[in-house]
């Protein structure tokens, strides 16, 4: 079974064009149906103000959580604010679980909305940077000395770079963000060819946080790079590398914006299902 760090409080309905906030519950329901006996649902404690302040300005954290300033969806919805401690909490808890367990393995955080969140600013459906809150917490608590962040969302992880620079974490964090270099479908094969070399940069890290973004799909209205088959190979390559290197990996959902006329997001869920399938095939648990 594979640990999936999920809490119903991660789920909110917003009127945003981004389905990110309702994805956790939908994707977990899909996995339980499609991969019977493979989902080990694990609880998620809420991240605290102090946790968020590890990677963000404390006033920005307080004002966002109290809905005094807009969240990453550019609204002041209290339901979104209430979900934020659990999305970041999921990533933190999944990473700590792997680092404190005997065997290096894989864990799932069905979360999105992290990488555009900068030190004191939210944007692009991202309010707080759960990747960087997790990274700094692991470093501070001595659970990791070197952290890798492999961001295969279609967009540039500007918020992650901003926090790494602000906190001078260049030495402790290797960050690759595909969105900085690969911006059109013509670059798909180049990305696939480079991925093995990108992965080599994570040799010797204590843990990898992997954003298996679904908006890298070629039909995504805000993305557009890889085919279904390439996305699946991308995920499989990442998991095979981590398994061979005994590198613990937490993966999450990140972006994905293909919405059917009836409002369903099955195409996005199918991409996340393929990531789950790649994990099951590589780790055989």
By CB under 5 A, name the binding residues for Zn ion: 153-155, 215, 255
- Smallest distance from Zn ion to CB 97, Å: 26
- Smallest distance from Zn ion to CB 96, Å: 26
- Smallest distance from Zn ion to CB 127, Å: 15
Give me the helices (H) in the chain, please.
23-34, 49-52, 58-65, 78-100, 130-140, 158-166, 188-200, 228-245, 266-283
Cβ-based nearer residue to Zn ion, 153 or 162: 153
Cβ-based nearer residue to Zn ion, 77 or 215: 215
- Nearest residue to Zn ion by CB is 255
Cβ-based nearer residue to Zn ion, 153 or 161: 153
Cβ-based nearer residue to Zn ion, 3 or 113: 113
Q: Give the integer Cα–Cα distance in Å for 130 and 127.
A: 9
Ramachandran class of 267: left when φ > 0, alpha when ψ lies in -120 to 50, beta otherwise: alpha
- Smallest distance from Zn ion to CB 169, Å: 22
Cβ-based nearer residue to Zn ion, 144 or 268: 268
SS3 80: helix
SS3 210: strand
- Smallest distance from Zn ion to CB 125, Å: 8
Residues 16/73, Cβ–Cβ less than 8 Å = yes
Element (H, E) at 209: strand 207-211
Q: Give the integer Cα–Cα distance in Å for 212 and 150.
A: 9
């Amino acid at each position: 079974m594979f640990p999936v760090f999920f809490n119903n409080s991660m789920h909110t309905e917003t009127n945003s064009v981004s389905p990110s906030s309702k994805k956790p519950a939908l994707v977990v329901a899909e996995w339980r149906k499609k991969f019977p006996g493979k989902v080990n649902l694990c609880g998620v404690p809420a991240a605290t103000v102090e946790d968020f302040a590890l990677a963000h300005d404390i006033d920005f954290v307080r004002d966002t959580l109290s809905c005094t300033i807009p969240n990453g969806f550019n609204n002041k919805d209290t339901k979104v604010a209430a979900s934020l401690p659990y999305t970041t909490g999921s990533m933190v808890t999944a990473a700590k679980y792997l680092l404190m367990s005997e065997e290096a393995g894989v864990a799932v955080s069905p979360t999105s909305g992290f990488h555009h969140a900068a030190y004191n600013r939210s944007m692009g459906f991202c309010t707080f940077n759960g990747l960087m809150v997790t990274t700094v917490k692991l470093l501070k608590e001595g659970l990791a000395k070197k952290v890798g962040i492999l961001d295969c969302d279609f967009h540039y992880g500007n918020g992650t770079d901003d926090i790494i620079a602000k906190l001078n974490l260049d030495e402790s964090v290797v960050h690759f963000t595909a969105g900085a270099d690969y911006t059109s479908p013509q670059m798909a094969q180049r990305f696939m060819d480079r991925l093995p070399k990108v992965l080599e940069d994570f040799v010797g890290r204590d843990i990898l946080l992997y954003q298996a973004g679904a908006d890298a799909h070629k039909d995504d209205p805000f993305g557009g790079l890889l085919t279904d088959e390439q996305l699946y190979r991308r995920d499989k390559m990442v998991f095979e590398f981590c398994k061979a290197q005994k590198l613990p990996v937490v993966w999450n959902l990140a972006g994905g914006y293909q919405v059917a006329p009836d409002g369903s997001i099955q195409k996005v869920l199918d991409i996340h299902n393929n990531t789950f399938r790649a994990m099951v095939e590589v780790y055989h648990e």
